[in-house]
Structure 1
Amino acid sequence: MINRKQILKILKKILSFLSGFILIFATATFAYVILSSTKDQVVNIFGKSILHIVTGSMEPTILTGDYIIIDRKDITNLQIGDIISFYSEEENTKGLIVTHRIIDINENGEYVTKGDANNVTDVKNVRKSQIIGKYRKKARIFRWANSFMDKKKIILLIIMIAFIAIAIYELTSVIKLWKKVDGKSQEDLINEAKERIKKEAIEEYLRENERI
């Protein structure tokens, strides 16, 4: 029959495995998003589309280096003021992904777009067939993760991990030593108690003999 200690040991192993799996999965996900986005690709993950912004045309709303989440489904009812990501058909940016704001909609249903930081509108209007999706919000965690792609920061991270590992090892050693010392002190107390009981028993026996 499995006792409580064995159950706790099994649960500890399961939790350790799950935490390791989650860490590996999260690391792989971050790497996939960051590496794919550097190639000017839309990354689809968990039903969301993530895009890396590489220019400052939408500042201060969207900054250079930001990762944004776009909704690929919600493009049927676009309005003036919405921010959209689309494939450009202009000569100098043809085929590249552009994220700009809709400032007007013409009679043909085409969208007039402009970057918030730009002084003029985009040369060519945007058709629905060019649109990838509508901007929803920033994916800040990917910008943070991307900041560690710098070599100096990677070295700093490795040093920090090494220090943390050493600290954990030292702490574990101290805890083990404390338990060992604490165990000895408890054993000494038990032995002292036994000796005291024996001594009291002998003294009581001698007193009884003297009375006889």
Structure 2
Amino acid sequence: PGTEDWTDRFGYRAFLDRRLSSLLLVGSSMTPSLRENDLLLCAPPSDLRVGDIVVYLYEGTLVAHRIVEIPEEGVVITQGDSPQAWERHRVSRENIIYRVVGVLFGRPPQGG
């Protein structure tokens, strides 16, 4: 079968037809949902909703957290999924760079 058959069969056509960026996750604030070395597939931040994972600039650092609240137009509240990630961030829409649309789950590097 050709590429079209494969992409249709597994439902990847939507991803292959979009311009996606990828980011390698570092840190543990999204554990257990996401882990270090997972590859985040990211799209422009459109149609944001509570529950979406977004990547944004916070105090000079890129952060990937889940939207837990949208208190007003142009602002979201985010928090990591880890029980230790108690801090919430108030993020303006302009600082959101990506919305995570998929994940390739990584494996820890093998020594040897």
Structure 1 residues 96, 119: CA separation in 2 closer, same or farther (over 3 Å shift)? Answer: closer
Residue 131 (structure 1) aligned with residue 96 (structure 2):
yes
How much has 1:108 moved relative to structure 2?
A: 4.2
Alignment partner of 1:78: what SS? coil
Residue 84 (structure 1) aligned with residue 84 (structure 2):
no
How much has 1:67 moved relative to structure 2?
A: 1.2
Counterpart for residue 23 of structure 2: 51
The answer to whether the 8 Å contact 1:54/1:64 transfers is yes
Structure 1 residues 77, 102: CA separation in 2 closer, same or farther (over 3 Å shift)? Answer: same
2:36 maps to which of 49, 57, 64: 64
The answer to whether the 8 Å contact 2:52/2:100 transfers is yes
The structure with the larger Rg is 1
Rounded to whole Å, the distance in 2 between the matches of 1:68 and 1:119 is: 19
1:96 maps to which of 28, 44, 61: 61
Quote the RMSD (CA, aligned, Å). 2.2
TM-score by length of structure 1 reads 0.40
Percent identity of equivalent pairs: 27
How much has 1:139 moved relative to structure 2?
A: 2.4
The answer to whether the 8 Å contact 2:56/2:62 transfers is yes
How much has 1:53 moved relative to structure 2?
A: 0.9
How much has 1:121 moved relative to structure 2?
A: 3.5
TM-score by length of structure 2 reads 0.72
How much has 1:119 moved relative to structure 2?
A: 4.6
Count of residues paired in the alignment: 94
Q: Unaligned 5+ residue runs, structure 1?
A: 1-45, 89-93, 153-212
* Structure with the higher strand share, 1 or 2: 2
Rounded to whole Å, the distance in 2 between the matches of 1:71 and 1:147 is: 27
Alignment partner of 2:74: what SS? coil
Residue 111 (structure 1) aligned with residue 76 (structure 2):
yes
